[in-house]
Chains A and B, each alone.
Chain A
Amino acid sequence: IYLFTYFFFLLLYIAFMLFIVFDNAGQFFSSGHTNNWAVLVCTSRFWFNYRHVANTLSVYRSVKRLGIPDSHIVLMLADDMACNHRNPKPATVFSHKNMELNVYGDDVEVDYRGYEVTVENFLRVLTGRLPPSTPRSKRLLSDDRSNILIYLTGHGGNGFLKFQDSEEISNVELADAFEQMWQKRRYNELLFIIDTCQGASMYERFYSPNLMALASSQVGEDSLSHQPDLAIGVHLMDRYTFYLLEFLEDIHPASKTNMNDLFKVCPKSQCVSTPGHRTDLFLRDPGSVLITDFFGSVRKVEITMETINLTDPINPVNGELQIRKYSYVDQLPVSEIIHQKPKQKDWHPPDGFILGLWTLILLVFFKLYGMKHLKHIF
């Protein structure tokens, strides 16, 4: 009996340990992503659209705080509000009235700004088809194990989003861009958040797998702004993003909140519009998807005790010592400039050449035919 009970407890203990191990392993492999990216776009220009820049910057701030580094964030702001001459407090963008929270901060890197925020550049960033000389900070270098967060804000309508008051992107184009991304395996899972009027129309046409979408309002409804600040003179934020920011401020890198809580952000009583979401294309159950899967970048670190030998630095080879003496160049060499002959690109005949040529022709003519024709000319 002694042996039996001992065996029983041993079995229980093993089963318990296996359960824990498998649960941790399950968690390790359940999300399937190894890196996080974020593409945050504000599409509106002009000072009265201050709130759209504040929206984008507050999501940028949360995403940075939760661990995604600047090198993995593509931030596109269509206009500059912080250093705009109408801003009474330069280098700041506030999200709460009475200037409580400066979402611009001191450490911000905007990748696309001003006139660079166009539909073409946005689609090129998503699909990766950028010119070869584009720097790394402007590229979305995601792979098939990346979770990407895409946030768009601006003015929109039924089926389109307006870029900078001059062009628009339609929901069909967006869905096709995501399909291109899927075909090229540029994402593992993608979360799409849009805060515009009639935002739900933008995700109606999605057809690629592993996409989850949230919008601030349904088709036919307008997304409203939250509160104006009388010192700055414009509305500071949109309602949906304001409550989204409030929700995200409670998230820390180790929190276990899942997507179902995100869907409950900003009910109709607070938002006036009805936020919508779409999860039918997503393979996992939204209840098992953590917020930090998209907003944070919780990296799995492996600690090793081995030593790694680095190679010696390449010593610069000392070339032969140059005997000639260097000196500074004269900044304004007047005499040199005056006597500088400008390079002539096109060759023109020297002066008087044409005149001489005509004289020669006339002389030959009169030599051949006699001088009596001369009086016909003059």
Chain B
Amino acid sequence: CATGINMQAAHWLAPRMTRQCGNDFQEELVIRPLHSGDIYASFQFRTVWETDFMRGNKVSHYRLFPKSLGQVISKFSVRELHISFTQGYWRTMQWGQPFQPSPPGAELWVWFQDSVTDVDGTWKELTNVLSGIFCASLNFIDSTNTVQPSASFKPLGIGNETDHRFLRYATLPREIVCTENLTPWKKLLPCGSKAGLAVLLKSEKLFHSSFHSQAVHIRPVCQDWQCKTTSWELRQTLNVVFDLHNSAQGKREWSLFKMFSRTLTEACPLASSSKIYIDITDNPQGEQFEVSPATPLLSQAVVLGDRRTFSVYDLTQQITFGTVRSLNLLIRWKSSEGDMLRPLLHAERYVAGYGLQTGEIHTLMYNNHPYRSFPVLLLDSVPWYLRLYIHTLTVTSKGKDNKPSYIHYQPSKDRLRPHLLEMLVQLPPNSVTEVTVQFERALLKWTEYTPDPNHGFYVGSSVISSLVPSIVAMDTNSTRERPLFSSFFPCKEESSYFVRVYTEPLLVNLPTPDFSMPYNVICLTCTVVAVGYGSLYNLLTRSFQIEEPSPGLAKRIANIIRKMRGVPPL
């Protein structure tokens, strides 16, 4: 491999790192202003490595691909790995669809290779190792929250067989995301957080937002258009939505400095491409907002079923940084009209009912297309302590019963595995489909409660996967050079695009005992036993004797005198 590239050289003199030794790194940042005044920023970092972790040969020389993940892939025979950490809930109706959807908390789903014999054991070890890498409590993933979906979560990478025995999916809705998860995530990048777009990732600003999600996706991809050999792709994505009132003090004026408290000075020297895209589709003549510094580069991409136009800033060109050697993009609003394209698929979920014994889970799926209907696959994984009554499952659309064309239900086993419900439902056009199921809450053993049981127990988000009809023709050629954010989900047909929507997680209260009761019971019982037993013992064993009262002092002296005289006492 070529070594000795001097990275300290002046940036306009240094040779741009093209595909060397099969390693390639690209970074991009997409900024999309939202109609509610918030702004959505999505970082994508992609490392592609032409190597083969399988086939038994030891890989010992790592360059851009992080060694910790490479060792995980080869040791646990992983075919695909997707892990995401999210804080906040993505509001589809106000913000549209995200580029990479993710549920609140932590989510991990893995496809193993065919050569793995004990998938469950490997899964357990993998979660422990990942909890060390990402500083998260992923070791709480065990058989009680792992499911094996039978139709959802098909592999996103290339492959020919899809035997669902090698798929495992788990979520931890309670998982907190903070700087300690961002720190190891940043260390996986080739440039770390020292150069390129990653310098913008400052935790104080990133976590002061409405939505923050960071994810790592590893999958095999085609090396070239012939697709005879594979290479490994590592994508690190970070999606963040900044709130108008928290971060911008209510003024509709966004800049890189306001969002991230940093400006850009250079691209990552190890990157073959480093770009910033700003979505100006709603602003064709510049009447809504203006972007400065202006750029002549424009790009069009079909993403999420819509053709969007972007202003492109290429950070590998020195001219982007101008004379001040730093780039601070400014987006200033002039008028606030216009409405957003309504997302075609949207879902909600809530718990109905009262009391601490029974309840009902309602999942609502909205199809906002005026005349097309499309199928959705709903995946529900409910913990064992909510006992679902599947005979009460109803699916209704527009008031009428809607029979799903495929149902897969795996009942739970107490303390062993959760419920798994997968259904393929056809959503009629312009309608709301409601899925309801009743449940009963279980009483846990007193050692199974968390230290703060009155907070409640979380039920993970439902996953709705669907092929939504697209307004514009999607690009099915997977090898053409496209921006990273539009090439996440593979596209097989032109008329629809794949989308995954996550509902809210639920927070249910289980009947919680009063944990001071053992102490109270012991005290009370001991008191009662002591008092009761003591009284009973006294009653049974106490004997009464007649005792004369002791005589007064005068009488005692008189008795002494009489004893001396030899006369009987008084």
**Chain A interface (Cβ < 8 Å from any Cβ of B):** 45-46, 80, 82-83, 89-92, 104-116, 131, 133-138, 164-166, 313-314, 316-317, 319, 321-334, 337-338, 340, 342
CB of A134 within 8 A of CB of B128, answer: yes
CB of A316 within 8 A of CB of B57, answer: yes
With both beta carbons as reference points, the residue of chain A lying nearest to B130 in the complex is identified as A135
* Of B227-235, B318-326, B550-558, the one touching chain A: B227-235
CB of A337 within 8 A of CB of B151, answer: yes
CB of A331 within 8 A of CB of B451, answer: no
Contacts of B230 in A (CB 8 A): 326
Is B291 in the interface zone, CB < 8 Å from A?
A: no
Q: Tell me which of A91, A116, A166, A323 contacts B228 (CB under 8 A).
A: A323
Nearest CB on A from B202, distance (A) = 7
Is B226 in the interface zone, CB < 8 Å from A?
A: yes
With both beta carbons as reference points, the residue of chain A lying nearest to B153 in the complex is identified as A331
B140, B180, B229, B492 — which one has the most chain A CB atoms within 10 A of its CB? B180
Is B58 in the interface zone, CB < 8 Å from A?
A: yes
Cα(A112)–Cα(B138), bound, Å: 11
Nearest CB on B from A81, distance (A) = 9
Is B509 in the interface zone, CB < 8 Å from A?
A: no
Is B273 in the interface zone, CB < 8 Å from A?
A: no
Contacts of B128 in A (CB 8 A): 131, 133-135
CB of B52 within 8 A of CB of A106, answer: no
Cα(A321)–Cα(B515), bound, Å: 65
Contacts of B124 in A (CB 8 A): 133
Contacts of A136 in B (CB 8 A): 132
Nearest CB on A from B231, distance (A) = 11
Cα(A366)–Cα(B144), bound, Å: 54
* Of B155-163, B249-257, B520-528, the one touching chain A: B155-163
| In the complex, the 4 A-B pairs of residues with the closest C-beta atoms, listed nearest first | A135-B132, A328-B490, A83-B178, A133-B128
With both beta carbons as reference points, the residue of chain B lying nearest to A132 in the complex is identified as B125
Contacts A131-B128, A326-B159, A334-B405 known; list 12 others, CB within 8 Å. A83-B87, A91-B208, A92-B204, A109-B180, A113-B176, A116-B139, A135-B133, A166-B451, A326-B228, A332-B154, A332-B498, A337-B406
Q: Tell me which of B174, B467, B515 contacts A331 (CB under 8 A).
A: B467
Is B206 in the interface zone, CB < 8 Å from A?
A: yes
Cα(A332)–Cα(B226), bound, Å: 24
Instruction: Render B363-397 as a binary contact track against A, CB cut-off 8 A, 1 for contact.
Output: 00000000000010100000000000000000000
Cα(A90)–Cα(B207), bound, Å: 6
Q: Tell me which of A106, A111, A133, A319 contacts B203 (CB under 8 A).
A: A106
CB of B176 within 8 A of CB of A114, answer: yes
CB of B154 within 8 A of CB of A133, answer: no
Cα(A46)–Cα(B490), bound, Å: 44
Nearest CB on B from A328, distance (A) = 4
Is B408 in the interface zone, CB < 8 Å from A?
A: yes
CB of B135 within 8 A of CB of A110, answer: yes
CB of A314 within 8 A of CB of B60, answer: yes
Nearest CB on B from A63, distance (A) = 16
CB of B208 within 8 A of CB of A329, answer: no
Is B137 in the interface zone, CB < 8 Å from A?
A: yes
Interface residues of B in 112-154 (CB under 8 A from A): 124-125, 128-129, 131-133, 135-137, 139-140, 150-151, 154
Contacts of B150 in A (CB 8 A): 340, 342
Q: Tell me which of B156, B451, B492 contacts A45 (CB under 8 A).
A: B451
CB of A316 within 8 A of CB of B51, answer: yes
With both beta carbons as reference points, the residue of chain B lying nearest to A46 in the complex is identified as B452
Nearest CB on A from B414, distance (A) = 18
CB of B179 within 8 A of CB of A108, answer: yes
Q: Tell me which of A90, A317, A328 contacts B158 (CB under 8 A).
A: A328
Contacts of A112 in B (CB 8 A): 137
Is B513 in the interface zone, CB < 8 Å from A?
A: no
CB of A330 within 8 A of CB of B139, answer: no
CB of B57 within 8 A of CB of A314, answer: yes
Cα(A316)–Cα(B424), bound, Å: 45
Contacts of A114 in B (CB 8 A): 137, 174, 176
CB of A80 within 8 A of CB of B178, answer: yes
Is B400 in the interface zone, CB < 8 Å from A?
A: no
Is B458 in the interface zone, CB < 8 Å from A?
A: no
Cα(A337)–Cα(B404), bound, Å: 12
Q: Tell me which of B52, B129, B179, B375 contacts A82 (CB under 8 A).
A: B179
Contacts of A321 in B (CB 8 A): 228-229
Whether A332 touches B204, Cβ cut-off 8 Å, given contacts A116-B139, A342-B408, is no
CB of A90 within 8 A of CB of B204, answer: yes
CB of A164 within 8 A of CB of B180, answer: no
Cα(A113)–Cα(B452), bound, Å: 15
Contacts of A137 in B (CB 8 A): 132, 135
With both beta carbons as reference points, the residue of chain B lying nearest to A81 in the complex is identified as B178
Contacts of B160 in A (CB 8 A): 324, 326-327, 329
With both beta carbons as reference points, the residue of chain B lying nearest to A138 in the complex is identified as B132
CB of B59 within 8 A of CB of A316, answer: yes
Cα(A110)–Cα(B154), bound, Å: 33
Contacts of A131 in B (CB 8 A): 128
CB of B129 within 8 A of CB of A334, answer: no
Nearest CB on B from A140, distance (A) = 14
Whether A91 touches B206, Cβ cut-off 8 Å, given contacts A82-B178, A133-B128, A331-B498, is yes
Nearest CB on A from B204, distance (A) = 5
Nearest CB on B from A123, distance (A) = 17
Is B265 in the interface zone, CB < 8 Å from A?
A: no
Q: List 22 A-B contacts (CB under 8 A).
A: A82-B207, A83-B177, A83-B179, A90-B208, A92-B204, A109-B135, A113-B137, A114-B137, A114-B176, A115-B140, A133-B124, A138-B132, A314-B57, A319-B55, A322-B228, A326-B160, A327-B160, A329-B162, A331-B156, A331-B492, A332-B466, A337-B377
Contacts of B57 in A (CB 8 A): 314, 316-317
Nearest CB on B from A99, distance (A) = 11
B228, B466, B515 — which one has the most chain A CB atoms within 10 A of its CB? B228
Whether A89 touches B208, Cβ cut-off 8 Å, given contacts A165-B451, A338-B406, A342-B408, is yes
Contacts of A337 in B (CB 8 A): 151, 377, 406, 424
Contacts of B135 in A (CB 8 A): 109-111, 113, 137
Nearest CB on A from B379, distance (A) = 12
CB of B176 within 8 A of CB of A83, answer: yes
Is B456 in the interface zone, CB < 8 Å from A?
A: no
Nearest CB on A from B472, distance (A) = 19
CB of A326 within 8 A of CB of B60, answer: no
CB of A326 within 8 A of CB of B222, answer: yes
Cα(A109)–Cα(B134), bound, Å: 9
CB of A106 within 8 A of CB of B159, answer: no
Is B478 in the interface zone, CB < 8 Å from A?
A: yes
Q: Tell me which of A80, A104, A164, A338 contacts B176 (CB under 8 A).
A: A80
Is B184 in the interface zone, CB < 8 Å from A?
A: yes
With both beta carbons as reference points, the residue of chain A lying nearest to B222 in the complex is identified as A326
CB of B424 within 8 A of CB of A338, answer: yes
Contacts of A333 in B (CB 8 A): 154
Nearest CB on A from B68, distance (A) = 10
Cα(A304)–Cα(B554), bound, Å: 109
With both beta carbons as reference points, the residue of chain A lying nearest to B493 in the complex is identified as A330
CB of B222 within 8 A of CB of A331, answer: no
Nearest CB on A from B486, distance (A) = 15
Contacts of A332 in B (CB 8 A): 154, 375, 377, 465-467, 498
CB of B207 within 8 A of CB of A108, answer: no
Cα(A114)–Cα(B424), bound, Å: 37
CB of B451 within 8 A of CB of A334, answer: no
Nearest CB on B from A229, distance (A) = 17
CB of A116 within 8 A of CB of B137, answer: yes
Contacts of B466 in A (CB 8 A): 332
With both beta carbons as reference points, the residue of chain B lying nearest to A104 in the complex is identified as B179
Cα(A337)–Cα(B452), bound, Å: 42
